[in-house]
């Protein structure tokens, strides 16, 4: 077979590998799907699987450890410690009664415990493969390999002495580099980076033009540079989102945000909108913490089942709020199974998720900005959600979001029942502050 594909594995490839191994597919079959050699799949799993240490009694995996009273098996007569507790010597080497209870199934294909029927109750050393964790591990290793000084100490010293001497003469760095390009072991961009990171004798303050300009404000592209290296955004930026969406329909996207009442601790509103039909979901949370958002995701997954959850929320686009930073808690469930993919807008670029921002106007019709959310209940938010989703709009062909639900859409019907949705007759739709007085 001509495997054809070259280069590094992407996040999408790793998701396909995770799904394949969870479906008990062979490496050969997964390789055919990705047009990769089976050895590539095996290497990926063994290199980037997640190790979970077992919880053996006293850290000893011997079958008899709980009742073992052996001493001096290493013939050290001065030691009075029971051998299974000894830190100096490994009692397994000397003891003839040693029988290991460790599991070694992961030493053979598929090299992980994702499909093991005993994984929930197992307390032995084990390995799991998660596409998100694997991709993060690869990104981290790649980043670490590219940081710091990547030239010899001798060349770095020569470059430092040359640049420092000429900078002290008042020469611009661009001028120095143009004159001594053949002597420089790095490009000018790397030279600036070395100065920024403090790897050179000179500092940014020694560069005239570097300190002569004020930082620009209000440009979301420049502001995003400050977010670039944040761990939770790695591989999940808006640029990554646009690349992922090439050739895909906008309808698979769910936009997500939160709405505050006033600037005080208290209840927050988690909002989600399904772009394929503009149905907005409202969840009242006790606070604006990441744990509260995770509880909403867990509630939806438990109520719908993981397959329906994946079908309804395959891809989520949100902002950079602190409540969304624990990305692995949102993307993975308690069994470390992938349930969705999350991407982040650029800072100060709310226009990148226009559907949810536009729909927030409907909320403000009923709950004006500056009014606390503390007096409200989830029942109130469900009522508001039903009125908003029953509102007809020109952009939807003069239909309401609820009227766009297809008859054969079983996934949305499950969501409909779970969240107690119901269509409000057109003449009874009410979007005024006294809505909750009319219930």
Tell me: do 346 and 412 sit in the same domain.
yes
pLDDT value for 219: 53
Q: How many domains does the chain have?
A: 3
Same domain, 271 and 349: yes
Which pLDDT value is given to residue 222?
52
User: How confident is the model at residue 216, as a pLDDT?
Assistant: 45
Q: What band does 226 get if pLDDT is binned at 50, 70 and 90?
A: low
CB 51 within 8 A of CB 127: yes
Are 315 and 287 contained in the same domain?
yes
Q: Which of 124-138, 325-339, 425-439 has the lowest mean pLDDT?
A: 425-439
**Shared-domain flag, residues 126 and 207:** no
Q: Residue 267 and residue 95: Cα distance in Å, rounded?
A: 61
Both structure tokens of 212:
């002569």
In a domain, 396, yes or no: yes
Give percent of the chain with pLDDT exceeding 70. 91
Closest CA to 60 of 125, 6, 114, 115: 125
Domain hosting 194: range is: 153-212
In tens, the pLDDT along 25-62 reads 999 999 988 989 999 999 999 999 999 888 877 777 78
User: Domain check: are 282 and 392 in the same one?
Assistant: yes
pLDDT of residue 330: 93
> 193-212 pLDDT, tens per residue?
888 878 888 888 777 555 44
pLDDT confidence of 230, banded at 50, 70, 90? confident
Q: Are residues 347 and 326 in the same domain?
A: yes
pTM over 0.75: no
Which residue, among 306, 317, 241, 309, has the nearest Cα to 272 in the 3D structure? 317
Confirm whether 2 is domain-assigned.
no
Segment 370-377 mean pLDDT: 90
Closest by CA position to 268, among listed 431, 383, 381, 430: 381
The domain that holds 289 is classified in CATH as 3.30.420.10
What is the chain's mean pLDDT, rounded? 85
Q: 227 or 76: which carries more pLDDT confidence? A: 76
- Give percent of the chain above pLDDT 90: 37
Instruction: Please indicate, yes or no, if residue 65 is contained in any of the structural domains.
Output: no
Residue with tokens 């000179």: 202
- How do residues 263-272 score in pLDDT, each as one tens digit? 667 899 999 9
Can you name the residues that pair with 255 across neighbouring β-strands? 273, 317
Residues 426 and 368 in one domain: yes
Domain presence at residue 222: no
Using pLDDT thresholds of 50, 70 and 90, give the confidence band for residue 351.
confident
Q: How many residues does the chain have?
A: 439
Q: Is the pLDDT of residue 274 over 80?
A: yes
User: Is residue 128 located within the same domain as residue 183?
Assistant: no
Structure-derived torsion over alpha carbons of residues 226, 231, 232, 238, reported in degrees to the nearest 10 = 50
At residue 394, φ and ψ (nearest 5 deg) are -60, -35
Confidence of residue 229 (pLDDT cuts 50, 70, 90): low
**Residue 261 and residue 353 in one domain:** yes
Task: Report the C-alpha gap between 269 and 380 in whole angstroms.
Answer: 12
Tens-digit pLDDT profile for residues 146-196: 666 678 888 888 888 988 888 877 677 777 887 788 888 888 888 888 888
For residues 126 and 171, membership in a common domain is answered with no
Can you tell me the distance from the alpha carbon of 312 to that of 318, in angstroms, rounded to the nearest whole number? 16
Q: In the listed set 123, 143, 163, which residue is the last one of a domain according to the structure? A: 143
Residue of 357, 437, 420 whose CA lies nearest to 386: 420
* Residue 213 confidence (pLDDT): 45
pLDDT of residue 211: 47
Residue 12's pLDDT band, with cuts at 50, 70 and 90, is very high
* 415-434 confidence digits (pLDDT tens): 999 999 999 888 888 888 88
Residue 66 lies in a domain: no
* Domain-located, residue 64: no
Residue with tokens 């969501």: 415
Task: Give the ranges where 319-421 is alpha helix by DSSP (H).
Answer: 327-331, 354-366, 378-389, 410-418
Q: Are residues 32 and 176 in the same domain?
A: no
Please check whether residue 357 is in contact with residue 257, taking contact to mean a CB–CB distance below 8 angstroms.
yes
- pLDDT tens for each residue of 397-418: 888 899 999 889 999 999 999 9
> Does 318 fall in a domain?
yes
Q: Give me the mean pLDDT over the 228-248 stretch.
A: 81
Distance separating alpha carbons of residues 254 and 35, to the nearest angstrom? 30
Q: How confident is the model at residue 70 (pLDDT cuts 50, 70, 90)?
A: confident
Structure tokens at 134: 């694997």
| pLDDT of amino acid 253 | 94
For β-strands 253-259 and 126-128, DSSP reports them as unpaired
Q: Is 134 in the same domain as 158?
A: no
For residue 245, is it within any domain? yes
Residue 3: pLDDT band (50, 70, 90) is low
């Amino acid at each position: 077979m001509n495997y054809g594909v070259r280069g590094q594995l992407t996040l999408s490839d790793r998701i396909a590998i995770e799904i394949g191994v969870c479906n008990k597919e062979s490496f050969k079959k997964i390789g055919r799907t990705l047009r990769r050699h089976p050895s590539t799949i095996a290497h990926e799993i063994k290199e980037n699987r997640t190790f979970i240490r077992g919880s053996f009694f006293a850290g000893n995996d011997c079958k008899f450890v709980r009742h073992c009273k052996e001493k001096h098996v290493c013939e050290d007569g001065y030691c009075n410690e029971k051998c299974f507790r000894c830190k100096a010597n490994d009692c397994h080497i000397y003891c003839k009664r040693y029988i290991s209870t460790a599991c070694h199934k992961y030493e053979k294909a598929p090299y992980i415990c994702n499909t093991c029927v005993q994984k929930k109750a197992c307390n032995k050393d084990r390995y799991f493969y998660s596409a998100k964790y694997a991709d993060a591990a690869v990104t981290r290793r790649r980043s670490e390999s590219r940081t710091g000084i990547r030239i010899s100490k001798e060349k770095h010293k020569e470059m430092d002495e040359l640049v420092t001497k000429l900078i002290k003469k008042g020469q611009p760095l661009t001028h120095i580099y143009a004159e001594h390009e053949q002597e420089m072991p790095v490009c000018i961009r790397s030279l600036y980076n070395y100065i920024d990171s403090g790897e050179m004798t000179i500092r940014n303050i020694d560069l005239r033009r570097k300190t002569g300009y004020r930082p620009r404000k209000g440009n979301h592209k420049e502001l995003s540079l400050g977010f670039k290296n944040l761990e939770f955004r790695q591989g999940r930026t808006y640029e990554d989102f646009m690349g992922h969406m090439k050739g895909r329909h906008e309808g698979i996207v769910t936009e997500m945000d939160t709405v505050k009442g006033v600037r005080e601790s208290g209840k927050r509103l988690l909002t989600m909108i399904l772009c394929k039909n503009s149905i907005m979901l409202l969840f009242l949370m006790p606070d604006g913490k990441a744990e509260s958002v995770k509880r909403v995701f867990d509630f939806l997954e438990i109520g719908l089942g993981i397959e329906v959850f994946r079908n309804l929320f395959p891809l989520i686009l949100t902002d950079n709020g602190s409540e969304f930073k624990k990305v692995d808690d949102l993307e993975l469930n308690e069994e470390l199974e992938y349930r969705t993919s999350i991407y982040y807008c650029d800072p100060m670029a709310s226009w990148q998720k226009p559907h949810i921002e536009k729909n927030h106007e409907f909320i403000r019709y009923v709950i004006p900005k500056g009014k606390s959310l503390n007096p409200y209940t989830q029942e109130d938010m469900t009522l508001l959600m039903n009125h908003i989703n029953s509102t007809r709009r020109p952009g939807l062909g003069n239909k309401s979001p609820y009227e766009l639900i297809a008859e054969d859409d079983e996934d949305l019907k499950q969501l409909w029942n779970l969240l107690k949705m119901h269509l409000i007759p057109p003449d009874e739709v009410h979007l005024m502050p006294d809505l909750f007085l009319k219930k």
